[in-house]
Structures are given as C-alpha cells and as structure tokens.
Structure 1
Amino acid sequence: MPVTVKTFGTSGEAAAALSSERDARYLGGGTLVMRALNEGDVSVSTIVRATDRALAQLDATGSRITIGAGVTFARVLAERSLGFLHPVAGSIGGPAVRNMGTIGGNLFAPAPFGDFAVALLALDASVAVQGAYGARDMPIEEFLSGRSRQADGLVLSASFQRPLSDDAFRYRKIARVRPKGAAVVTLAVHVPSSGGRAVGVRIALGAMASTPVRAKAAERTLEGHTLDAASIAAAVAAAADGTAPVDDALASAWYRREVVGVHLRRLLTGQA
C-alpha cells in the first residue's frame, strides 16, 4: 500500500492535516511510526511531518521546564540542567534510539515502553496539544487516559515544575536486557517535602497498565507523613492497587504485581 508523506512548515498546518485525515500519522523520530510501517500496518496511508523549530525548543533555565515534543532523549542527556532526567533518558533504548526518539512520541509508546512518559506523569506535567480547534494544555494524566483520542492532534510540548531537591525525584527501570530492554516495570516517584513530611506525592508506574498510571493508593499512604518504615511499608502494600498489568514475553501480570512493591521500597529507601 503506497504511503504519502506531507511536510508542513508550521505545527498548526501539520495538526490540521492530522485532524482532516483519519489514516494520517505524525512522524517525529520515527521509532514508533516507522516500526509500524515496516511491520505492515495498512491503517496508515499518510505520514505528516513538520519543520517547525518550536517543536524542538527546550527551556530548562527556570523553575518551570518546557520540553518541545521534538526534543530527543540524546538532547535531554546533553542538557546539564536536566541531570535529574538523565537516568530516565539513558534507560531508553541504545544510542540510535536516543538520537531519534522524541519526548512527544514517547507519550504514545505502548506498554512495556513509554518510560519518559512515566517520569512526566510523576512530575505532574501538562501537555500542550494542537488540535483542529486550536491549542490547549491538559494534565498529562488526562492526556494518557484518552491517548487513543489524541491521535488526530499534534503534541507541541510538555512542561512541569523543576523538583526542589535532588532526592525529590527518583526513577527506576527493571528490564531483562540492559541498557535497551523494554520494561518489566518502570517506576518514577516525586516526593516533595515540607517540614520533613511528604507533600504532593506522585508515584507513576509503567508496564502496569496499557498506559503509564499513578499508584494513587500508595501516594495516599505517604502524603503528609515522613518517609519512615511504617509509611513506606504501607505504600509498598498498596503499590499494585488499581493497576492492570498484562502478560507478555517479558513477564506475567502476576509477576509484575509481585515485584512492583519490592522496587518501590528500594526506590523510597534509596537502595541501589
């Protein structure tokens, strides 16, 4: 089946094309779309591209960080001020994937992929999306839960508040093949503190549902408490509540439920 490639100079034009053609897909880094085409996905007949430089902008100078959808993982790794995200970007694929893969594309990556989206969910990011009726910001949780309905819109950027301390944001990916394996489980935790107590806790999990999800029951056990043995034990016990992991070639759903709490404990206690 022939595939038509359309290139536009602005994100608005690209978004309009995506909205008007049901069989169109946006091509950023290509790690998802080209794989689908190479595997014979006949549902795609039009590829949309944009040369708009705004999509590759990165502003990490202030307390509010904005990362354009076209920014690659390699560029995140090269940005010294984003050191807290280096473990996340570095855990995604090999050098070729990190040089091509983009932040925007990762938001659409199916489980057991989408590790950067897990981190953004823990950071309570907002996602800017250009659709047929203009651009709007939406909470990343809302975006992910309705991800299948976002295919006709163009992601412009993701933005979030910089963690206030080095240990407020923590990340761990469990994979059978390192460094570029798909995730058995991915965890990202943002635990800001005030007066020694956790405030605004976010725990995000990857490969525990079809999209990254928050472990809200575990968050509640930590909110307003110190990170002591009792609160951490309660979070561990609740880690898998509300999740729906799947069986795949990497692990069974049972195994994922069993180990997610183990790794959450290690993450919260600072174990390697």
Structure 2
Amino acid sequence: MPVTVKTFGSSGEAAAALSADRNARYLGGGTLVMRALNEGDISISTIVRASDHAMTRIEATGARITLGAGVTYARILAERDLAFLHSPARSIGGPAVRNMGTVGGNLFAPNPYGDFTVAMLALDAVVSVQGGLGSREVPIEEFLQSRDRQTGTLVLAISFAKPGSPDAFHYRKIARIKPKGGAVITLAAHLPMNGSRIVGARVALGSMAPTPIRARAAERALEGRSLDASTINAAAAVAVEGTTPGDNALASAWYRREIVGVHLKRLLSGQE
C-alpha cells in the first residue's frame, strides 16, 4: 500500500492534516512510526511532518522547563541545565536511537519502552497538544489514560517544574541489556522537601501497567515524612499496590510484582 508523505512549515498545518485523516501519523524521530511501517502496518496511509522550529525548542532557564515534542535525547544530554534528566535520556537505546528518538514520541511508546515518559510522569508534566478542538494543555496522567484515542492530535511540547534540588529527583531503569534494552521495570520519583519533610511526593512506574502509572500508595507512605530508612521501607512495602503488570519475554508479571518494592527501596536509598 503506498504511503504519502506531507511536510508542513508549521505545527498548526501539520495538526490540521492529522485531524483530517484518520490514517495519518506524525513522523518525529521515526522510532515508532517507521518500525510500524517496516512491519507492514497497513493502517498508515499518510505520514505528516513539520519543520516548525518551535517543536525542537528547549526552554530551561527558569523555574519551569519546556521541551518541544521534537527534542531528542541527544539534545537533552547536551544541556547542562537538564543534568537531572541525563539518566532517563541515557537509558534509552544506543547513540543512534538517542540521536533520533524524541520526547513527544516517547509518550506513545508501548511497554517495555516509554522510559522517559516515566520520568515526565514523576515530574507532573503537562502535555501541550493541538487537534480538531484547538490547542490545549493536558496533565500527563490524563494524556496517558487516553493516549490510544489521541489519533489526529499533535503533541507540541511537554513542560514541568524544575526540581528544586539535584537530589529531589530519582530515576532507575531495570533492563537485561543495558542501556538499550526494553525495561523490566522503570522507576522515577520526585520528592520535594520542605525542611526535612517530603511535600508533594510523586512516584512513577513503567512496565507495571499498560501505560506508566503513579504508585499512589508509595506516595502516601512518603508524604509529610522524612526520607529515612523507616519511610523508605514503608513506601517499598506498598509499591506494588494498584499495579497490573503483564508478562513478556523480559519478565513475568509475578517477577515484576516481586521486585518493584526492592528497586524502589534501592532508588530512594541511593543504592546502586
């Protein structure tokens, strides 16, 4: 089946093209769309691209950071102001994938991928999208819950508050092949502190449900407490609550449930 490629100068034009054609897909880095085409996905008849520089812009000088949807992991690794995101960016693929893969595309990556999105969920990111209903801001958790219904919507950018200190953000990916393998599980935590107490705890998990999810029981165990051994043990003990992992070639659902608490404890304790 022939595939038509349409390139536009603005994100608005690209969004309009996506909205008008249910069989159109946006091509950013190509790590998902090109794989689908190469594997014979006949549901894609049109590829939409945009040369809008706004989609590759990074704004990281203030308290809030905005990453254009077309920003690659290699770009993130080159930004000193984004040092706290270097670990999630480096955990994705090898150099070739990091040079092409984008933060916007990662929002749609199925398990066992989507590791950068786990970090974005822990940072309470907001996703800027444009579609048939115009432009709007969508909390990332809401976006992920409806992402399978996002056909015809173009992701423009992702924004979030910069962690107040380097040690407030934690990230870990468990993979059998490092760094480019699919994840057994991925964990990220943002633990802002008010004095010695955690205020606004967020813990996110990847490969523990069909899309990245928050570990709400672990968040409740951390909230308002000091980050000491007792608190960490309490959070680790309930990390599995609310999860629905699946089986795949990397690990069974049983194994994922068994190890998620262990790795959350190591993550929050600073253990390798």
CA distance in 2, matches of 1:198, 1:73: 29
Counterpart residue number, 2:247: 247
Stretch deviating more after TM superposition (225-234 or 48-57): 225-234
Give the deviation of 1:20 after TM superposition.
1.0
CA distance in 1, matches of 2:108, 2:123: 17
Counterpart residue number, 1:29: 29
Where do 5+ consecutive residues of structure 1 fail to align?
Answer: none
CA distance in 2, matches of 1:214, 1:133: 28
Give the deviation of 1:151 after TM superposition.
2.1
Residue type of the partner of 2:236? V
TM alignment of 1:1-272, pairs within 5 A: 1-272=1-272
CA distance in 2, matches of 1:2, 1:32: 19
Stretch deviating more after TM superposition (183-192 or 146-155): 146-155
CA distance in 1, matches of 2:97, 2:250: 20
CA RMSD of aligned residues (A): 0.7
Residue type of the partner of 1:164? G
Give the deviation of 1:230 after TM superposition.
2.0
Give the deviation of 1:134 after TM superposition.
1.1
Using structure 2 for the length normalisation, give the TM-score: 0.99
CA distance in 1, matches of 2:186, 2:103: 17
- Please state whether the residue corresponding to 1:172 is helix, strand or coil: strand
Residues 118-147 of structure 1: CA deviation (Å, up to 9, x unaligned): 000000000000111211101100001111
CA distance in 2, matches of 1:84, 1:150: 29
TM superposition outliers: structure 1 runs of 4+ over 4 Å: none
Give the deviation of 1:229 after TM superposition.
2.1
Residues 196-222 of structure 1: CA deviation (Å, up to 9, x unaligned): 011000000011111110000110011
- Please state whether the residue corresponding to 2:167 is helix, strand or coil: coil
Where do 5+ consecutive residues of structure 2 fail to align?
Answer: none
Give the deviation of 1:231 after TM superposition.
1.6
Residues 215-240 of structure 1: CA deviation (Å, up to 9, x unaligned): 00110011001112222111111101
Residues 104-131 of structure 1: CA deviation (Å, up to 9, x unaligned): 0000000110011000000000000011
CA distance in 1, matches of 2:43, 2:110: 17
CA distance in 2, matches of 1:212, 1:133: 26
Percent same amino acid among aligned pairs?
A: 71
